[in-house]
Structure 1
Amino acid sequence: MVKHIVCYKFKDNSRENLDRATAALLSMRFNVPQVLSVEAGADFAGSARSYDLALAVTLKSREDLEEYQKNEFHCKEVKPVMHELTEKSVSVDFEFDQA
């Protein structure tokens, strides 16, 4: 199994922008076949080192991650929203054994 995690820093972290981004990210669950699960949520701690929103996607394999990255819905519907609303992001991808 593969976990794909992205943390986003917003240009303007208004509730409206966070809600719009969260909806776009969560829409991948039903529009990107490689996605087994997707979670997204806004930071509540507000510390100086916090990012504004996090995404966690579960996929079966590295190959599915590659396909996810190229998926038309992901590239044309989700990424443009995230690029519009965010100023930077960091990500990590790792493999894990399903318990």
Structure 2
Amino acid sequence: MTHIVFFELKDPTPENREALVKILQKLNTEDVPMAQSFECGADILGSDRSLDAALVVKLPADQLEAYANDPYHCRIKTEMAPLLQRSMTVDFD
């Protein structure tokens, strides 16, 4: 399945976008073995419809709960939480 997370920063400066992406880039399949791949990036258009960044995770659907509760993943969420206004997800096969 594909798990996509969209992020909105509290203060959407270029520095905060860069900081968020650097944190997201710490996610990897060695530390989070149930994931098959990670891809992330900051928005480049800055349109009225844009959010600040996105994370795309490929993983087996039956591993989504394990991923959500993975200790390394949870540390990453805690690290980026002070930067975030909100996050939103989409999950599909």
Same-fold status (TM-score > 0.5): yes
Which position in structure 2 is the counterpart of 1:43? Answer: 43
TM-score, normalised to structure 1's length?
0.84
Residues 1-40 of structure 1: pairs in structure 2 closer than 5 A: 2-29=1-28, 30-40=30-40
Separation (CA, whole Å) in 2 of partners of 1:26 and 1:4: 16
Residue 15 of structure 1 and its aligned partner are, at CA, apart by: 2.7
C-alpha distance after superposition, 1:21-67 (max 9, x if no partner): 212222121311111111111111111111000110111x2221111
Q: Distance in 2 between matches of 1:53 and 1:81?
A: 15
Alignment-derived partner of residue 53 in structure 1: 53
The alpha-carbon deviation at position 90 of structure 1 amounts to 1.2
Residue matched to 2:91: 93
Identical positions, percent: 39
Off by >3 Å, runs of 4+ in structure 1: none
- Establish whether residue 69 from structure 1 lines up as the match of residue 76 from structure 2: no
Once residues 3 and 38 of structure 2 are traced to their aligned partners in structure 1, the CA distance between those partners, rounded to angstroms, is 9
Equivalent pairs, count: 92
Q: State the partner residue of 2:82.
A: 84
